[in-house]
Structure formats: structure tokens, C-alpha cells
């Protein structure tokens, strides 16, 4: 279960994105893959899910997962909190996105590193206290304004956005426990309803220890 908790933390870091109204609003679909030296990779992919539907509107976002354990994440911009919904419907755990326990030690940008969905991508590398994250991005696609996230220190997200100004097309996250790769499969501009970002009516809401 500790490894699953670590995967949830990554999802919070890799996909905690909110966007201003004049920028991208809609759906992004990612294919996710998990690898670890200490567990069965297939069981982890089943638990966490290999498909993520990521909806963004203004300063709220919602991720839907096809995992047996991980079901949904909702970010509420007004609270600056990320709510995690698993197969345990009795409890919703939240993370305060003001916090950050894995600060950046060094960063690097490499130009024209890859092409994804026919889009040429630069690469941002964040070397942190306990992890390394690779963001493949193109600032002309899936644009966002970093200033919206000045208080979003969790996962170094504001730091990353201040350099990329866009949602990543591909993310690779590595620490001493696991590696996750998340690759975009499609994106679509859609006008979304606010109800998509509403919290469930049932379930205790408690702070997370992840």
C-alpha cells in the first residue's frame, strides 16, 4: 500500500494543473504505465489504472482513472487542495497544495528532444531532493498561465509551469521506489460544466499523510 500511496503523490504532482479561461479548457487523455523493481508491474497498473481522462476548466481539474484502487482526483482551486477518491468511498483524502517536500535542486531545458502526436517537444528536467521528473512540452500547445499557480508549491508545479507555460505532453517521474510514464493520446477543446468538479456528497474528508 505504501507504493500505491507514492503513486498517488506522483499523480498529484504530475497532473495538478489548472488553467485560465483564455487558455486550454477541455479533455486530455493520457496512457499511464508504472514500473517498480519490488512489485509486480501488472498488479500496479491494474490498481492505479493505465488510462487517465483529465478535464480542466479555469482553476479546477478532475482526473478519472480506470484503476481498481485509484478512481478520481479533484483539484479545487478555491481551496488549493487536491482530493483523492479511491475504492474506499467512506473517506476522501486531501493534500494541501501549498506544501512541498521535494524541492528542486537543479533544472535543465533541452530543445527539440522528441516529437509526440506530431508536435515537436522540448524537455524540462527537474532534479529534486528525492526524485527526477522529465516534462516533454511545447509552449504553443495546451497553454496555461503559470501565475495562477503561485501558491501551488506541491510537486514543484508552479516552478515547472513558470518554465514550460503549458501542460506536458509526456511526463516521466522517477524515484527510488518506482517509475511512471504518462503519455498523451489525444486532446480536445470542450466547454465543461462546473458540476464535473464537484466533490462527492458522501465520505469523510480528511488530510492525507501521503
DSSP H helices, 28-166, are 41-48, 157-164
Please write the tens of the pLDDT for every residue from 92-105: 999 999 999 899 99
Hey, what's the cell of 19? 488553467
Domains of the chain: 2-207 (2.50.20.10)
Please write the tens of the pLDDT for every residue from 24-76: 999 999 999 999 877 678 888 999 999 999 998 888 889 999 999 999 999 88
SS3 23: coil
Predicted local confidence at residue 7, as pLDDT: 57
- In whole angstroms, what is the distance from residue 61 CA to residue 55 CA? 6
Instruction: Give the predicted TM-score (pTM) of the model.
Output: 0.86
- In whole angstroms, what is the distance from residue 133 CA to residue 124 CA? 8
Averaged pLDDT, 131-156: 92
- In whole angstroms, what is the distance from residue 96 CA to residue 20 CA? 21
Amino acid at each position: 500500500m505504501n507504493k500505491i500511496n507514492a503513486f498517488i503523490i506522483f499523480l498529484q504532482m504530475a497532473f495538478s494543473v489548472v488553467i485560465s479561461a483564455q487558455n486550454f479548457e477541455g479533455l486530455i487523455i493520457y496512457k499511464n504505465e508504472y514500473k517498480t523493481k519490488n512489485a509486480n508491474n501488472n498488479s500496479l497498473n491494474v490498481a492505479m489504472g493505465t488510462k487517465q481522462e483529465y478535464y480542466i476548466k479555469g482553476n479546477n481539474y478532475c482526473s478519472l482513472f480506470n484503476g481498481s484502487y485509484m478512481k478520481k482526483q479533484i483539484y479545487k482551486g478555491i481551496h488549493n487542495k487536491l482530493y483523492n477518491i479511491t475504492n474506499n468511498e467512506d473517506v476522501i483524502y486531501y493534500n494541501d497544495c501549498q506544501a512541498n517536500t521535494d524541492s528542486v535542486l537543479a533544472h535543465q531545458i533541452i530543445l527539440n528532444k522528441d516529437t509526440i502526436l506530431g508536435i515537436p517537444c522540448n524537455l524540462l528536467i527537474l532534479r529534486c531532493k528525492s526524485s527526477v521528473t522529465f516534462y516533454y512540452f511545447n509552449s504553443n500547445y495546451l497553454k496555461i498561465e503559470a501565475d495562477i499557480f503561485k501558491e501551488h508549491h506541491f510537486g514543484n508545479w508552479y516552478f515547472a509551469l513558470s518554465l514550460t507555460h503549458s501542460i506536458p505532453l509526456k511526463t516521466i517521474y522517477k524515484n527510488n521506489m518506482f517509475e511512471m510514464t504518462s503519455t498523451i493520446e489525444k486532446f480536445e477543446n470542450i466547454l465543461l460544466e462546473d458540476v464535473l468538479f464537484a466533490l462527492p456528497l458522501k465520505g469523510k474528508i480528511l488530510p492525507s499523510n501521503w
